Structure 1
Amino acid sequence: MATARAQSHRWPWGALAAPLLVLLAVGPTLSWLEFSGGSESLLAATALEMRRDGSWLLPRLCGEKRIAKPPLPTWITAAAISRDTLDRLDGPPGGWRDLAYSDLAVQMRLTALLAGCGMLLGVYALGWAIGDRRLGLASSLVAASMLIFLMQARKATTDIHLALWVCAANAFLAAAALRGRWWLGWTGAGIALGLAIMSKGPVALVQSVVPAATYIIARSFLAAAGPAVSADDPSLRRFAAPSLGLLLMLLVALPWFAYVALNTPDVIARWRAEVTRVGATDQPPGKWYAYISLFALVVPWTIFLLGGMWMAIQRIIARRIDGLALAMLLLVVPIVIMSLAPDRKARYLLPMAGPAAVLSAAALLDLSDRWARRRRLDTLAVGVHWAMLAVLAAGLPIAGAAVLKTLEGRPWYTPWQAACAAMVMLALLALCWRVRPLDRSILRATVITMLLLHAVLVWGYRDTAEGRSELKPLADTIVARMPGAQVYSVWPNRPLRLAPPELPIYLNRIVRRSADVAAVPSPGDAPQALLIRQRRNTPMPQPPGWAFVQTAPQDDDWWHLFERE
């Protein structure tokens, strides 16, 4: 009894395994890709302007307030930028300035990677609350080797910060609901939810509180046993703990929103659009079934996720509303609700990677425990998983040598590089195949393969058009030819659009928008640069009083650079 008690209070060092592996494998690759658009460039440009100009409470992008989303990820990213790096960004184009931008990428993305490592700790805690430490360790390793996690954990975006705090909140809620840790669970969940709301808004409640409440209600209706809600629980604990959690959440989340609402009269309508996603973007809505892509994004764990979901469904049918049912609700309920919004993007699924990992790990451990009594379907599932790993290990290097091309038209890898990468990963798979028991074999093989594949993929991807910034050469020209110039951007027929965020990043200055060329103010004695975006099939503009300098492509358009004469 004493030994069991000592083990239960022993520090869970295994929780650090997945975060340390990810930090060591992904960390060295953070500087390999340039800022090339998307949500990462938006956050990076805002953080850089915040660090440079000191606009901490009311973040700005291109000189205009960017307050549609809460600023916690921007604060963290901006605080990570060193003053030395910021100063070196203003140097002349070339080696030292490029090195400064490499340092900037590492500093910004390291905050995201650390948030991802924190997310893995949350997944471990969720698995532990649902099952035990073995399930917690397996869940964190599964999450660390999922495609969606490796895609997003290296990017400085709001999504990875949201996922961190949502996973933490879910772990605390599971501790309250499943283990009766009411004070710890509800107070911890309140703080985590406040930070999650400060990361991306009320969507955090959809991804945590709503499914957890659904679980508690379902369990009470189906009269399933559980230590968290029993007839003899003191009323003070049952109602005071959630009330304290709610209070803590509001104390963390509300002050910034109140400050912005008092200083920006029209912000309520903008927040409403952000929450409903109606009018929040001018992009076409996603397909109603877009989130089915979850099964592709959890590769290579798709088979085990399906198995874990089936286990949870069987328990629900049998009226056993236990931890696996909670994991199932944490996965499915947010996806159903989020599908009602018109804006559906794959990266929005990242917070649900936590419960998906728990379900996958539960299926893996269950199969491992009964492997001696396996059925034909079990053998097929394991065979599919190993085959998927082998195809990924050999397929990416082969495709990189034969099909995938860099910006210059060269293959991603030479035949020698591709052969070496494929042989190393296949050899490691063969070594892991011999490990027993089954769960250790599959976990080791999958984590090693996916972390190595991530490095191989990013190494080849860095020289593609998507891995480089198409507008960095344009920014370099402005810095070299017109240092200290005022920069303006014009989008014909779209006067409200700001310049692409890569431009203020690689210029390290504000790029102000202008409704048209005639509206650009007189510069006085300062040099002035003008950027005009045009469709590729339209003639290049010739604005009077401006001399053409350079053109750069972006997507299906051209950006034309002019200098004030």
Structure 2
Amino acid sequence: MNHPIDRGTYHPAPPLADKRPLSRGMLALLLAPLAVIWFGSLGMRSLISPDEGRYASIALEMMRSGDWITPRLNGLLYFEKPPMQYWLSAMFLHLFGLNEFAARLWPALAGFLTVLAVGATASRLWGRETGIRTLAIAASMTWIFGNAHFLTLDAGLTLFLTLALCAVLIAENVPATPAVRRNWIWLAWAAMAGAVLSKGLVGILIPGATLVLTCLWRRDFGPWRRMHWWSGLLIFLVLAAPWFVLVSMRNPTFAQFFFIHEHFARYLTKVHQREGTWWYYLPLLLGGMLPWTSALPWLGPRRAGDAPPRGVAPADFLFVHSVFILLFFSASGSKLPSYILPMFPALALLIGLRLQQASPRVLRGHLLVPILVWSIALVASTQSARVASHSTPAEIFAQLGAGIRWGGAVFLAFAAFAWWALRRRGVTLAIVSLALGHLIGMTMVMAAHNAYGQLKSAAPIVSALEPVLRSGAPMFAVGIYDQTLPFYLRRDVVLVDYEDEFAMGQVLEPGRSLDSLDAFATRWEALPQAAAYMDFPSFSALRQRGLPMRVIFQDQRRVVVARQ
């Protein structure tokens, strides 16, 4: 297949004539259903452990205590991450109530703003039609949409890194006065401060490495000299530094734990036990790009003969940004799937750029990849009972399979319309149709995922616990811990024989936990009323001791008991 891009000049040629370009009114009609799909599904699923429960519980604790400086998880000091996510989630919980919609609103809003920033940047650089296409591409990328609908830190980090990336691209490539260019660079510095407050030093490492490596590769340090270093660093420090100073003053152990243990040890060692092979992120990259995975071979750097009139070519900057993120996290001793999320907005911009000269015939060929993937998923979903187990029964997979079938059917219908539009040279209409089909299909699958998510959430057990805990009786987590427990119970639980990420907090505040089953048994027998959450091995061990326990809830993975 021939590459659709004209390589003769730096400035991309105008898009091929589209017989159905979108007007401003049609753009509004695109954004309206996008917003409904994007935000309408946030409260459809229970929060799941570990990440969603952890970050919702920290935000709830911050909202209720009024301490906006020192984060706490289940009442214990928690210094693993900066506070931006906690601040904004606490604010939304206060405004909209203690529910799943409010808990997930910040990552969803961050993802939505990321998509808008990508679309606006493409429009500034390459024209409104390309901007619309790029917005649709970014919105429908599986990894962008999916991570925006789970409560983690990476959607917020990605928003600020994308704003910094886009601000530098516009400053370097859109004709403007020196004052306007300076303002864009200042926005980039402010966005880097937001990224650092979202997830730490990686918030300045990624944009810094992108700038340095691109300048070295192109042998042009003009962009480096135009970064307004003195005023930019002042903006960055004014925004980012105060919290780090305050939390360090109140908690002398913070700096060592946060910067050494959570940055250098996490990256350079396997202390967090999240290892992965060198190709760990490659399947996630391919799947996360859907339904645009087939565009990946187009996204390489410019040819040697291309020379931008000033600054750095967008394709170079976007390519270096994406490759650095992939290689940096692939080399890490700690890997999680969402770590590479910040590269996907840059990939969406590259796809939007490369599609400017793609013919409808070429694009029809690229439709075959997502059609094939969804078709395989649809067929495979009919065999869901084959993967059932004692811990995940067949009815759970049956609900998930039904969601995949409905989602696949919707996507294939939209893909058929996109195919029809391409036969009439409606490139933009086809891209928007494919994007909406994938978004609706993913929403159906995620809604069906709630049946499985209930096995990893404390939501189902709240009604059983409410009569026991109404009088203020303590709640214990024995040997295991569900991160969603404090959020759904609206209270902390007492950890028993459990450390994990609480190790530092337990050392600093030893009286908040019990370190053994013996200590728990003594405490349990002395209480008139209490409840405990545990796995079945712990339940069997305690029952053999003769502890008075009445089962009030159990499923395939856990049991909840009461003493009354």
- Map of 1:507 onto structure 2: 489
Give 3-state SS (helix, strand or coil) of 1:70's partner.
Answer: coil
1:516 aligns with 2:516: yes
- Residue type at the aligned position of 1:143: A
- Map of 2:549 onto structure 1: 547
Structure 2 length normalisation: TM-score?
0.79
* Distance 1:562-1:357 versus aligned 2 partners, 3 A rule: same
Report if aligned partners of 1:15, 1:124 keep a CA contact under 8 Å in 2. Answer: no
Q: C-alpha offsets along residues 143-185 of structure 1, whole Å, 9 cap, x if unaligned?
A: 1111101211112221111111110011112223334654112
* Distance in 2 separating the partners of 1:477 and 1:416: 34
1:342 aligns with 2:333: yes
- Map of 2:421 onto structure 1: 432
- Map of 2:532 onto structure 1: 530
1:451 aligns with 2:439: yes
Structure 1 length normalisation: TM-score?
0.79
The one of the two structures with greater contact order (alpha-carbon pairs below 8 A, sep at least 6) is: 2
How far the C-alpha of 1:257 sits from its partner, in A, is: 0.9
How far the C-alpha of 1:42 sits from its partner, in A, is: 1.3
* Distance 1:473-1:461 versus aligned 2 partners, 3 A rule: closer
- Residue type at the aligned position of 1:120: V
- Residue type at the aligned position of 2:532: L
1:73 aligns with 2:63: no
- Map of 1:30 onto structure 2: 42
- Map of 2:168 onto structure 1: 173
- Number of aligned positions between the proteins: 502
- Map of 1:387 onto structure 2: 368
Give 3-state SS (helix, strand or coil) of 1:208's partner.
Answer: helix
Q: Could you tell me which runs of 5 or more consecutive residues in structure 2 were left unpaired when the two chains were aligned.
A: 1-22, 386-393, 496-513
**1:303 aligned to which of 273, 294, 318:** 294
Q: C-alpha offsets along residues 274-309 of structure 1, whole Å, 9 cap, x if unaligned?
A: 223156864341222222231221112122132122
* Distance in 2 separating the partners of 1:414 and 1:443: 24
Q: C-alpha offsets along residues 514-540 of structure 1, whole Å, 9 cap, x if unaligned?
A: 212343585987732233445599756
Q: C-alpha offsets along residues 51-91 of structure 1, whole Å, 9 cap, x if unaligned?
A: 233332212111112222011111111111147834xxxxx
- Residue type at the aligned position of 2:351: S
- Map of 1:333 onto structure 2: 324
* Distance 1:432-1:37 versus aligned 2 partners, 3 A rule: farther
Give 3-state SS (helix, strand or coil) of 1:172's partner.
Answer: helix
How far the C-alpha of 1:16 sits from its partner, in A, is: 7.0
* Distance in 1 separating the partners of 2:139 and 2:551: 47
**2:342 aligned to which of 333, 346, 351:** 351
* Distance 1:265-1:456 versus aligned 2 partners, 3 A rule: same
1:114 aligns with 2:95: no
* Distance 1:444-1:137 versus aligned 2 partners, 3 A rule: closer
* Distance 1:177-1:212 versus aligned 2 partners, 3 A rule: farther
Report if aligned partners of 1:126, 1:167 keep a CA contact under 8 Å in 2. Answer: no
Q: C-alpha offsets along residues 432-490 of structure 1, whole Å, 9 cap, x if unaligned?
A: 3444243x144123212212212221233232x23554543334322133323211223
- Map of 1:363 onto structure 2: 354
Report if aligned partners of 1:142, 1:443 keep a CA contact under 8 Å in 2. Answer: yes
What is the alpha-carbon root mean square deviation over aligned residues?
3.5
Report if aligned partners of 1:15, 1:140 keep a CA contact under 8 Å in 2. Answer: no
1:143 aligns with 2:132: no
- Residue type at the aligned position of 1:137: I
Q: Matches of residues 116-265 of structure 1 in structure 2 within 5 Å?
A: 116-128=111-123, 130-179=125-174, 181-219=180-218, 221=219, 238=226, 241-265=228-252
* Distance in 2 separating the partners of 1:268 and 1:501: 25
- Map of 1:286 onto structure 2: 276
* Distance 1:422-1:243 versus aligned 2 partners, 3 A rule: closer
- Residue type at the aligned position of 1:338: F
* Distance in 2 separating the partners of 1:340 and 1:416: 37
How far the C-alpha of 1:360 sits from its partner, in A, is: 1.3
Report if aligned partners of 1:389, 1:446 keep a CA contact under 8 Å in 2. Answer: no
* Distance in 2 separating the partners of 1:132 and 1:333: 28
- Map of 1:476 onto structure 2: 463
* Distance in 1 separating the partners of 2:460 and 2:202: 38
- Map of 1:374 onto structure 2: none
**2:53 aligned to which of 21, 41, 44:** 41
- Map of 1:105 onto structure 2: 100
How far the C-alpha of 1:108 sits from its partner, in A, is: 2.0
- Residue type at the aligned position of 1:340: A
- Residue type at the aligned position of 1:42: R
* Distance 1:67-1:434 versus aligned 2 partners, 3 A rule: same
Q: C-alpha offsets along residues 354-393 of structure 1, whole Å, 9 cap, x if unaligned?
A: 111111112211224xx6xxxxxxx5x5344211233355
How far the C-alpha of 1:552 sits from its partner, in A, is: 3.7
* Distance in 1 separating the partners of 2:92 and 2:430: 37
Give 3-state SS (helix, strand or coil) of 2:115's partner.
Answer: helix
* Distance in 2 separating the partners of 1:366 and 1:51: 51
* Distance 1:530-1:516 versus aligned 2 partners, 3 A rule: farther
Q: Could you tell me which runs of 5 or more consecutive residues in structure 1 were left unpaired when the two chains were aligned.
A: 1-10, 87-103, 230-234, 372-378, 492-497
Report if aligned partners of 1:166, 1:196 keep a CA contact under 8 Å in 2. Answer: yes
Q: C-alpha offsets along residues 244-292 of structure 1, whole Å, 9 cap, x if unaligned?
A: 1111111111111111111222222321222231568643412222222
* Distance 1:411-1:515 versus aligned 2 partners, 3 A rule: closer
- Residue type at the aligned position of 2:444: V
* Distance in 2 separating the partners of 1:486 and 1:260: 30
* Distance 1:43-1:410 versus aligned 2 partners, 3 A rule: closer
**1:407 aligned to which of 371, 396, 399:** 396
Report if aligned partners of 2:551, 2:561 keep a CA contact under 8 Å in 1. Answer: yes
Give 3-state SS (helix, strand or coil) of 1:413's partner.
Answer: helix
Report if aligned partners of 2:552, 2:562 keep a CA contact under 8 Å in 1. Answer: no
* Distance 1:415-1:285 versus aligned 2 partners, 3 A rule: closer
* Distance in 2 separating the partners of 1:427 and 1:563: 56
- Residue type at the aligned position of 1:323: P
- Residue type at the aligned position of 1:487: M
Give 3-state SS (helix, strand or coil) of 2:113's partner.
Answer: helix
Give 3-state SS (helix, strand or coil) of 1:333's partner.
Answer: helix
- Residue type at the aligned position of 1:136: G
How far the C-alpha of 1:13 sits from its partner, in A, is: 9.2
* Distance 1:148-1:155 versus aligned 2 partners, 3 A rule: same
